[in-house]
């Protein structure tokens, strides 16, 4: 039996939706409307998905129904004339905002899936990419094609339907941010797009004019934001009731019986126009005006009719071979509203609606199928006549434009009065204006039942806005503020010159021969490019063996980037160049030495290091030193190449004896276990080289060519390593910028940059001064911060941009965050129709293509982070939090590494302790202590004691305790049998899923799960499990960002080093934050100034500096003053702005068809 389905709806967890939009009300209203199948909507939202799991149960294959105990009391309230079966189909809409082919794209996509478990895994993937918790329709900075790939990966039976494909701002083919074809968006995956949602501002005949859409089923849905709006548009199926049958109909068109449609003129974007000037035009009129507003001269918003005309390759009336019937109808409440001449939400209309359903049947039956005789049963005299006119298309329409709803009416006032015979019967007042008549004519060669009114309700249906969507503390007036914050910052720009060829100074650095070379390279001057070209020249022109070149960087990310560049330039030879961080290089040397001696080594994580320091302090009886303090002193000592007994040992707390004793005890302990901590990698490598002249000479012969990046950040031990590897006449190239030396707090010393000429007297110095990143304005501001007023700072780009940078003065940190979000929304062009309609985004501001990934928000300390993330969460803007935190610090990673080491038989007692109850096994501390004590009495390690405990009864342990201990051994040994012969990625995946290690699947600050980061690292790793553990120990968060996501980056100013972004916000420009100062803590004002300079020079095109007058820090609200660094910027370079109060606006509502 044919049935109706509404597949695209929302839940109460979506923005601007009704609070009663829950499964119970959907079940109720589906029956009133005459729907058999309704989408759940929003299955990506964790809370809503939990409700779906809790309240629904499986029905037919791939469909679900409300549990009987929930459905029964609801069914009792449904009129007998409307009762029917209701099924749910798992559905969600996702907003993709991303950059593709140098243009910002914004499109919405509906996904249907038949399996709850697969939806759960799909959601986990999306959660690793963006924020799916803040909105039922999440915004992801993800290419729609990649989203489709993910859906097919998790469930090939799923359906991916581009939503309301013609909407100007948020659709596949929209004029503002869409594509010109399906293939342009989805490329080789286009064949997997089986259906397209036409949207409320178009109908099937409009879509038939575009042959690119042929062969795909055109569907229509309500996009309902409240239960009563269900079935405004719907789909008709002639299949059995199941997901596979419905999917087959949508894929092939067979047994798909057509769609129920609005009249498209009623949609918000049907015609062209400019709402601010109240200008509405037909497409030919727009073209005659150059698509500009005849009143203000700004670009018109080109409607769906215009966009269809632009892409059409068929004339009106030409029909595709595959097409389906459609029925243009008006919702019953709007018909009743017109008859009664009152608003659609009035009590009169509600009463008439309820009585009509009781008398005749569900709404879709009334407006589509009921006979005149059946309609006469309604208590409303004109209903039969109104429905008859509507079905014939004999109505009055006025088209919507630029976000302004259109109107449709069945009767005008005179007709209504004449048909009723007496106006007073229904208290019908005379309308103030008569609607413009554009009566619809039947479409030629189509049955009358298939006529489609040009129809469409808003693609973004705006319901009353919830209070959480607006900043409660400091609302901003968007219009003037944003126009100044964005428009004044959007001059005609000359783009950055692309450095495809090296400039003359770079060439001289690349071709230099015969002596050490110091390259001073300011920000954006092509530092890495120059260094990689120099390495390539050594191989190609000088005949150097690639294996003889050592290139040292400071991060794994930089090392990988350099290695990839060299592979592109040198093919297979590029992979032979030794590219590594200082620590990774030294680890290689130490491992080579250990293997030659038949020893094994392993690298401690930071938590393991602290564990052994605590143990050493305890066993040495040292009580007056905190482990954290001891850790700091030991680290500093190793950076200074000081042994525990060395006179060079520096003791900041004047407790030299005790600290040296702690250092010695700790070092003896970890050395005995074959363990190295992070600082040992450099310390022991340099000691080994200095102690053996033959070994030193062998390394100098092995690496006669050494290149060092970020030289300004070297510390004592790193510089000492370079001195050992490179004698004064060596081919040593170092490159860096002393103005970007920002790591003094961890031992780096910019003095080595200046000392280089003394230790390498033959060195040549070359300075790179052409910047390829930033506008002249950004460079001038940065130069003023670092230099004396009026001084020519030396960096120039020739990139034309805004004449000033914006400095934003806000009352609080919450207001600061809201101001940033407002600017981003406007630069991107809005993130939803709410952004546009509420005034958060000025539709006339900024015509450039900006996406979320273009922005970075920098802060001095993480205490500034909460208001920023809260504001971004409220807006739904996707973001990632980036810092230099090590990957191993993510929950679950250390446990994974411990399992790997134990499986690889290189684990320690600490590894065993860590996984005893991970996952939980109920092994108590007393059980572990009993096992340890027995092991020590027998001269056995904890691991050896566990091996015995699995076979023999031990004193002090019950049978149940030993069974639990045996389960640990069993997990390790069974995993060893299964994974040791597998490729590394498969071995890790098997281990992570079978143990299981749940914390690995939680999202970190950068938006990725630790499991995804680890598996990505394993893909390209060539080595054993032990070496992989060491690599993970050295990895940082910044090395493991999600490559496919387009998100705002939030990071500390330190973490931003080496990165660049099109637009940069430097937040918290306040005294005490920039420069940073805390009472009782040492501060280096010069380094703080350099750090500010680094932050400024991350910006390519836009730079905003923000500060707040009050900020919550350290548990209290503190009054703040602007940073003294701001005074270094000349006044003519500043555009000072203050946000101001937003005028309270009435909540937007989802309008009825007729208006009032």
pLDDT in tens, 734-777: 999 999 999 988 889 999 998 999 999 999 999 999 999 999 99
Distance CA 158, CA 151 (A): 7
Distance CA 924, CA 956 (A): 13
Annotated binding residues, written as ranges, equal 521-528
pLDDT at 492 over 80: no
pLDDT of residue 470: 31
pLDDT in tens, 705-716: 999 999 999 999
Q: Which residues on adjacent β-strands are paired with residue 1119?
A: 1110
* Residue whose token pair is 């071709």: 511
Banded pLDDT at 436 (limits 50, 70, 90): very low
∠ CA 578-581-586, nearest 5°, is 80
pLDDT of residue 894: 84
As a residue count, the chain comes to 1156
DSSP state of 739: G
pLDDT of residue 425: 43
* Ramachandran angles phi, psi of 1018, nearest 5°: -70, -25
Computed on alpha carbons and rounded to an integer, the radius of gyration of the chain in Å comes to 34
> How far separated are the first and last CA of the chain, in Å rounded?
39
pLDDT at 469 over 50: no
pLDDT of residue 234: 98
Annotated binding residues for ATP, written as ranges, equal 521-528
Residue 274's SS3 state is strand
Tell which phi-psi region holds residue 688, choosing left (phi > 0), alpha (psi between -120 and 50) or beta. Answer: alpha
Q: Which of 601, 594, 595, 591 is nearest to 675 (CA)?
A: 601
DSSP states along 666-694? HHHHHHHTTEE-HHHHHHHHHHHHHH-HH
pLDDT in tens, 568-627: 999 989 899 999 999 999 999 999 999 999 887 888 888 889 999 999 999 888 888 899
H or E, element range at 807: strand 805-812
Distance CA 230, CA 573 (A): 63
* Ramachandran angles phi, psi of 280, nearest 5°: -130, 125
pLDDT at 280 over 90: yes
Structure tokens at 264: 């498209």
> What are the angstrom distances between the C-alpha of 347 and each of 342, 352, 558, 731?
9, 9, 67, 88
Omega before 1075 within 30 of 0, i.e. cis: yes
pLDDT of residue 904: 86
Mean of pLDDT over the chain = 86
Whether pTM > 0.85 for this model: the answer is no
Structure tokens at 353: 């609606």
Distance CA 759, CA 1022 (A): 38
Give me the domains of the chain, ranges plus CATH numbers: 332-450 (no CATH), 504-598+691-768 (3.40.50.300), 606-676 (1.10.10.160), 776-785+805-884+1045-1137 (3.40.50.300), 887-1035 (1.10.486.10)
Distance CA 316, CA 1108 (A): 58
pLDDT in tens, 921-975: 888 889 988 988 898 888 888 888 888 887 788 888 888 888 888 889 888 998 8
Distance CA 464, CA 1146 (A): 9
Q: Which of 88, 97, 108, 96 is nearest to 41 (CA)?
A: 88
């Amino acid at each position: 039996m044919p049935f109706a389905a509404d597949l695209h709806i929302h839940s109460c967890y979506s923005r601007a939706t009704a609070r009663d939009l829950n499964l119970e009300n959907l079940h109720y209203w589906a029956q009133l409307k005459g729907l058999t199948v309704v989408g759940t909507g929003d299955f990506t939202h964790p809370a809503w998905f939990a409700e779906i799991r809790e309240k629904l149960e499986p029905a037919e294959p791939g469909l679900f129904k409300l549990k009987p105990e929930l459905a029964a009391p609801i069914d009792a309230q449904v009129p007998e004339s409307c009762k029917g079966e209701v099924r749910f189909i798992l559905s969600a809409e996702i907003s993709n905002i991303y950059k593709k082919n140098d243009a910002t794209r914004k499109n919405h996509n509906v996904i249907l899936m038949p399996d709850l478990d697969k939806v759960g895994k799909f959601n986990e993937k999306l959660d690793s990419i963006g924020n799916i918790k803040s909105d039922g329709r999440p915004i992801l900075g993800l290419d729609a094609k990649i989203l489709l790939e993910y859906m097919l990966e998790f469930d090939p039976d799923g359906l991916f339907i581009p939503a309301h494909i013609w909407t100007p701002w948020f659709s596949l083919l929209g004029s503002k941010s869409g594509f010109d074809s399906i293939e342009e968006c989805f490329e080789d995956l286009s064949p997997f797009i089986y259906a397209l949602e036409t949207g409320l501002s178009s109908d099937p005949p409009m879509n038939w004019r575009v042959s690119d859409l042929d062969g795909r089923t055109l569907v229509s849905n309500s996009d309902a934001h409240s239960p009563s709006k269900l079935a405004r548009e719907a789909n008709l199926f002639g299949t059995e009731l199941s997901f596979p049958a419905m999917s087959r109909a949508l894929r092939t068109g067979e047994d798909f019986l057509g769609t129920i449609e609005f009249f498209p003129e009623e949609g918000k974007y049907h015609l062209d126009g400019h709402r601010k000037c109240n200008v509405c035009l037909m497409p030919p009129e727009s073209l005659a005006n150059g698509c500009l507003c005849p009143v203000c001269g700004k670009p018109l918003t080109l409607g769906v009719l215009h966009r269809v005309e632009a892409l059409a390759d068929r004339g009106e009336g030409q029909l595709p071979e595959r097409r389906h019937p459609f029925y243009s109808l008006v919702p019953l409440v709007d018909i009743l509203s017109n008859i009664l001449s009152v608003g659609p939400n009035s009590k009169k209309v509600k009463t008439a609606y309820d009585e009509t359903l009781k008398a005749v049947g569900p709404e879709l039956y009334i407006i589509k199928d009921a006979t005149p005789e059946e309609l006469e049963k309604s208590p409303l005299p004109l209903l039969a006549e109104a429905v008859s006119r509507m079905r014939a298309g004999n109505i009055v329409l006025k088209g919507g434009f630029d976000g302004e709803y259109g109107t449709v009416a069945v009767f005008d006032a005179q007709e209504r009065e004449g048909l009723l015979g007496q106006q007073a019967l229904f208290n019908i007042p005379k309308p103030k204006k008569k609607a413009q008549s554009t009566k619809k004519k039947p479409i030629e060669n189509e049955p009358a039942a298939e006529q489609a009114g040009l129809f469409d309700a808003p693609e973004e249906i705006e319901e009353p806005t919830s209070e959480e969507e607006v900043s409660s503390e400091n609302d901003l007036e968007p219009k003037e503020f944003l126009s100044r914050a964005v428009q004044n910052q959007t001059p005609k720009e000359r783009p950055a010159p692309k450095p495809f060829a090296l400039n003359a100074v770079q060439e001289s650095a690349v071709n230099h021969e015969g002596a050490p070379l110091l390259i001073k390279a300011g920000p954006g001057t092509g530092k890495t490019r120059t260094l990689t070209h120099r390495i390539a020249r050594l191989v190609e022109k000088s005949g150097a063996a690639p294996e003889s070149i050592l290139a040292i960087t400071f991060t794994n990310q930089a090392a990988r980037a350099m290695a990839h560049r060299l592979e592109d330039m040198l093919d297979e030879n590029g992979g032979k160049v030794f590219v590594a961080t200082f620590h990774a290089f030294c680890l290689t040397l130490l491992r080579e030495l250990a293997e030659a001696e038949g020893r094994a080594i392993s690298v401690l994580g930071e938590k393991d290091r602290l564990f052994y320091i605590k143990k050493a302090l305890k066993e040495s009886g040292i009580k007056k030193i905190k482990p954290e303090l001891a850790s700091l002193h030991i680290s500093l000592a190793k950076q200074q190449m000081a042994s525990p007994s060395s006179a060079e040992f520096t003791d900041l707390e004047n407790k030299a004896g005790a600290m040296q004793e702690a250092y010695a005890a700790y070092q003896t302990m970890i050395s005995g276990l074959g363990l190295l901590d992070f600082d040992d990698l450099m310390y022991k490598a340099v000691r080994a080289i200095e102690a053996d002249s033959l070994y030193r000479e062998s390394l100098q012969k092995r690496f006669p060519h050494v290149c060092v990046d970020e030289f300004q950040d070297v510390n004592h031990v790193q510089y000492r390593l370079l001195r050992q590897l490179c004698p004064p006449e060596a081919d040593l190239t170092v490159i860096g910028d002393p103005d970007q030396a920002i790591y003094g707090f961890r031992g780096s010393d910019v003095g080595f940059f200046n000392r280089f000429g003394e230790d390498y007297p033959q060195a040549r110095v070359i300075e790179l001064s052409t910047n390829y990143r930033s506008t002249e304005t950004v460079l001038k501001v940065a130069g003023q911060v670092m230099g004396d007023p009026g001084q020519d700072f030396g960096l120039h780009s020739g990139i034309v941009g805004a004449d000033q940078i914006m400095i934003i003065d806000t009352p609080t940190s919450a207001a600061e965050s809201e101001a940033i979000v407002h600017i981003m929304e406007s630069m991107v062009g809005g993130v939803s129709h709410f952004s546009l309609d509420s005034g958060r985004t000025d539709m006339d501001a900024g015509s450039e293509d900006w996406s979320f990934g273009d922005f970075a928000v920098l802060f001095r300390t993480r205490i500034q982070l909460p208001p920023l993330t809260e504001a971004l969460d409220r807006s739904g803007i996707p973001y990632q939090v980036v810092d230099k935190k090590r990957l191993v610090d993510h929950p679950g990673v250390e446990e994974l590494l411990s399992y790997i080491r134990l499986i690889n038989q290189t684990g320690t007692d600490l590894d065993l302790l860590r996984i005893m109850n991970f996952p939980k096994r109920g092994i108590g501390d007393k059980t572990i202590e009993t096992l340890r004590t027995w092991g020590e009495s027998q001269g056995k390690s904890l691991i050896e004691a566990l091996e015995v405990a699995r076979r023999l009864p031990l004193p002090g342990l019950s049978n149940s305790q030993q069974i639990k201990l045996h389960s640990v051994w069993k997990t390790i040994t069974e995993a060893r049998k299964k994974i040791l012969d597998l490729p590394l990625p498969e071995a890790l995946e098997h281990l992570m899923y079978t143990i299981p290690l749940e914390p690995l699947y939680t999202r970190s600050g950068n938006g990725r799960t630790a499991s995804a980061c680890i598996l990505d690292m394993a893909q390209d790793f060539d080595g054993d499990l032990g070496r992989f553990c060491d690599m993970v120990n050295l990895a940082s968060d910044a090395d493991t960002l999600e490559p496919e996501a387009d998100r705002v980056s939030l990071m500390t100013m330190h973490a931003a080093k080496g990165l660049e972004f099109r637009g940069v916000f430097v937040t918290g420009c306040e005294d005490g934050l920039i420069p940073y100062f805390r009472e009782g803590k040492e501060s280096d004002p010069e380094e703080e100034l350099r750090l500010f300079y680094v932050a400024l020079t991350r910006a390519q095109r836009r730079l905003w500096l923000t500060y707040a007058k009050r900020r919550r820090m350290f548990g209290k609200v503190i009054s703040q003053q602007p940073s003294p660094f701001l005074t270094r910027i000349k006044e003519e370079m500043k555009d000072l702005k203050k946000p101001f109060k937003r005028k309270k606006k009435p909540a937007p509502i989802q309008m009825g068809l007729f208006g009032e």
